[in-house]
Amino acid sequence: MRNIENCVKWLGYKPWKITHASDNFQKLYDFAVELIKKGKAYVCHQTKKEMSECRTKCIPSPWRNRPIEESLKMFEWMRQGRFTEKEAMLRLKIDMNSSNPV
């Protein structure tokens, strides 16, 4: 946190308020649920290596088109801690035709 503050000060700014993501956890969670419901995000179970390979080859995740209700259920399970760390993650549906796969 201090590094961020130092960088902001170095840029010549003084923060009017310091906040943390956890201060807005419910709001962020609600935004994520909204993205899932709109079909713009999904819960994925790929490993980092698998994701990297798929991005390089522009291949979609096998979980990209899972049903919205299933992603919502998996996302709630993530919130409840039913998965181990890095076993599941929320991913946005990027444009698979983009020249920038990242």
Where exactly are the structural domains of the chain? 28-102
What's the pLDDT at 56? 84
- The tens-digit pLDDT sequence of the chain (102 residues) is 678 888 888 999 988 888 888 899 999 999 999 999 999 999 999 999 999 998 888 889 999 999 999 999 999 999 999 999 999 999 999 887 777 766
pTM of the model: 0.79
What's the pLDDT at 16? 86
The CATH number of 28-102, from 3.90.1150.10, 3.40.50.10860, 3.40.50.300, 3.90.800.10, is 3.90.800.10
User: What angle do the packed helices 68-80 and 25-37 form, to 10 degrees?
Assistant: 160
Give CA–CA dist 26/21, Å, rounded: 10
